[in-house]
Amino acid sequence: MDALLIYCELKGSYMLKKVLLLLIISALTLSPAAHAGWFSNAVKAAEARVAQARAEAAKVAARIKAAVVAAEKAAQAARAEAARVAAARAAKAKAARIAAAKAIEAAKAKAARIAKAAKAKAVRIAAAKAIRVAKAKAARIAAAKAIRVAKAKAVKVAAAAAKAAAAALIAQQEATKNYLENKLGVSFDFIDEGDYGPLKVLANLVTPPAANNPVNAQLENEMSFMNFNKNPSNHNDKFNPKGYHQWQVVTLDGATTGAQCADGSDYQFLVKRSALSSNMVVFFEAGGGCWDHGTCSNSSGGFTNAGLVGGQDGAPEILGVSTDKLGIRAAKLASLTTASIQPGFLPKYQNWTRVFLPYCTQDIHLGMEDGDITYYENQEEQTGESVDVRHGGMSVQGSVLTWLKDNLEQPGQLLVTGQSAGGFASELLYHPYRLALNPKKGYMLNDAGPIMPAIQGEDAYDYPSQFAHETVTAAWNVMPYLEWLEDQSASYAHFDPENMGSISNFLASRWHNDRFALAAAQKDNVIAGFSYNTFFSDIYEEDSLAARDELRDELRLADMDRKRAQLDAIDNYGYFMPGYRPFMGGHVLTFPFIYSSTTNEDDSKDITDTIHNLMGSRGDVMKSWEYDLAGDLAGRHYGKVLDDCINYYFDFSGGGRSSGDVFLHADGEDTNWGEIIIDVFKGDTCLKLGAGPISIQGAVSNFLPDF
């Protein structure tokens, strides 16, 4: 127990370790008696040391207590000092508040004095201003009174001067109007959209209107399928801006623009500029089409820049004129929309600028081939005779549009028209021409180019034109254009590239304020021949002309019935569909010397009624269908004045009866279309008959234009 107490006292000290060591040694070396003595001494020594440690601890405690007392005294002194400092600061702050209050009172007093002085000054200023305002008001009243008096006097003087000026202007306008009417043979009694008044016409004769509608990036992006190429700056296109009211031949640089004919020659077109109007007629020439060796080697259409008429073998030599003059004569004779020779026929567009686009690419003006195509007798093996053709009609259109926009003013109104192949073009190309030229009002007249509803893949006898559509689409590479049209129709009546006839619905929907018309005889041997001859074996293997005609008529009349039904459902698309005329086998209705025989005996309407109705700004479009086809086939048209000999000539020559045999070699030979065309443009068709109804041959000759 004692040992444990010693352990507790000495725990943690060096002494503990030493005592324990000694205990261990003693336990091992000493005897019990010795061990007891030693242990007693050790305890005493330890107690002494403990007592000493306690004494030392008491001293340390005393020192700590003294330090605590000293710290308390220091804290009391610090608190006293802090109280003294706080009291001093409080006294100082109180003194500052008292001083600030005094300063504020002094400032308020000063501010009151200043405000009083400012108020007095403001009163003085307001009084002065009121005096000035009163004086100014009095001055204004006096001035206004003086002005009213002066104005009244000036109005009287101005009225007298205006009356005199108006009288002088009216006299000047009337004199100008009378001069121009006598000089140009026109009337200014009614001025329509895009037409010019007398004074502007006079100014135009001196300074032609500048082109104001150039091709821009927006148009190029929207019509990305077309290349808008222009002539080089050093190219002479032969156009005279002041050459009004005369046909001018414009030449495009084919190498630069890509505007080339089927034979690679530079494209040429004709312009008859008007000083009277910005409005424009764009006419696409007729001339067939070809798509393989058989059709391209036997086509009577134009392959050169002389176009349809000038391109006939021997035409320049027979007629004794240049191809340029032949083109001009073609423009003068081709259509009621380009000619100005029909007596009594005064259409709305009579004073418009005319643009005549000759046909020389054999692709209804819209082929998209970049270079020549070689057609072989055996195309698959590329053997036998061959013919090279460049179907670049779309390149021609891009360059023509660029030239028109670079050289003529923007038209207020636009008529797009054409015959046969040009009729197809007038409808298929109406949308890009309408977009590019951007008139306020548009019209389209498709003469003899009906684009039939023809759903590809359906029964051939239900939709007989589908094979022609499919064939030319591939041969002329026009699918990119047709797909562009389809994209353009997204928000309108849908155009389907595999049903080309749907173009009529799209155009009428997209341009719902424009007016459209199709003029086509129900029995048109020429278009029937192009559409069916090479695609139906029961036609090209038939030996009898009468049987071939019967087969073609069956397909053609079914196609025309379907086209009429389509147009009946379109409000702004009219039609004129008489039965038949021998002129070119019922082909084209706007030729100037047959218009009276185009009459639909059912309703007494003729082609001129169609044109007048189309160009009207109000009223429904005319829809005229002749039900008595048999009466036309019996020859009642021969009695029509002015064109009986023309119709008889075509019937007599075979141009009426066998015109449907295009591309066929029935009886060993074709109708000689080249000779017939030359005869018509030579002007002696009636004299060649030697018999028959030639009562008006002199009248016809009198109306033929000079070269």
pLDDT (tens digit per residue) in 70-94: 888 887 888 888 888 888 888 888 8
Is the pLDDT reported for residue 398 higher than 90? yes
Alpha carbons 286 and 533: distance in angstroms, whole number: 19
C-alpha distances (whole Å) from 454 to each of 180, 465, 507, 570, 642 are 51, 6, 17, 18, 38
Alpha carbons 437 and 414: distance in angstroms, whole number: 8
Alpha carbons 691 and 653: distance in angstroms, whole number: 12
So what's the pLDDT on residue 168?
64
Region 278-297: mean pLDDT is: 94
DSSP string, 76-110: HHHHHHHHHHHHHHHHHHHHHHHHHHHHHHHHHHH
Alpha carbons 705 and 329: distance in angstroms, whole number: 7
Residue type, 620: D
Alpha carbons 703 and 683: distance in angstroms, whole number: 10
If pLDDT is split at 50, 70 and 90, which confidence band does 692 have?
very low
If pLDDT is split at 50, 70 and 90, which confidence band does 431 have?
very high
Highest mean pLDDT pick, 19-33, 79-93, 283-297? 283-297
Q: Roughly how many angstroms between the first and final C-alpha of the chain, as a whole number? A: 158
pLDDT (tens digit per residue) in 147-204: 888 777 876 876 676 567 556 656 765 676 676 566 555 566 668 899 999 889 999 9
- Residue 386: phi and psi, rounded to 5, are -140, 160
Alpha carbons 15 and 355: distance in angstroms, whole number: 134
- For the chain, the domains span 31-184, 198-703
pLDDT (tens digit per residue) in 673-691: 677 777 776 666 665 654 4
Provide the 10 A C-beta neighbour count for residue 109.
10
Asked if 587 contacts 560 with a C-beta cutoff of 8 angstroms, the reply is no
If pLDDT is split at 50, 70 and 90, which confidence band does 693 have?
very low
Give percent above pLDDT 90 in the chain. Answer: 51
So what's the pLDDT on residue 64?
84
Residue type, 528: A
Quick one: which of 356, 315, 359, 362 has its CA closest to 338?
Answer: 356
Alpha carbons 532 and 146: distance in angstroms, whole number: 89
Query: Could you tell me how far CA 383 lies from the centroid of its own chain?
Result: 44
- This prediction has a pTM of 0.74
Provide the 10 A C-beta neighbour count for residue 376.
15
Lowest mean pLDDT among 178-192, 386-400, 525-539, 544-558: 178-192
Provide the 10 A C-beta neighbour count for residue 17.
11
So what's the pLDDT on residue 499?
98
Lowest mean pLDDT among 112-116, 172-176, 460-464: 172-176
Query: Could you tell me how far CA 638 lies from the centroid of its own chain?
Result: 47
Alpha carbons 557 and 555: distance in angstroms, whole number: 6
Q: How many CA atoms lie within 13 A of 336 on its CB side?
A: 28
Q: Give the SS3 label for residue 511.
A: coil
Query: Could you tell me how far CA 500 lies from the centroid of its own chain?
Result: 21
Asked if 369 contacts 477 with a C-beta cutoff of 8 angstroms, the reply is yes
At 301, list the tokens. Answer: 């259409």
Region 239-252: mean pLDDT is: 94
Asked if 293 contacts 379 with a C-beta cutoff of 8 angstroms, the reply is yes
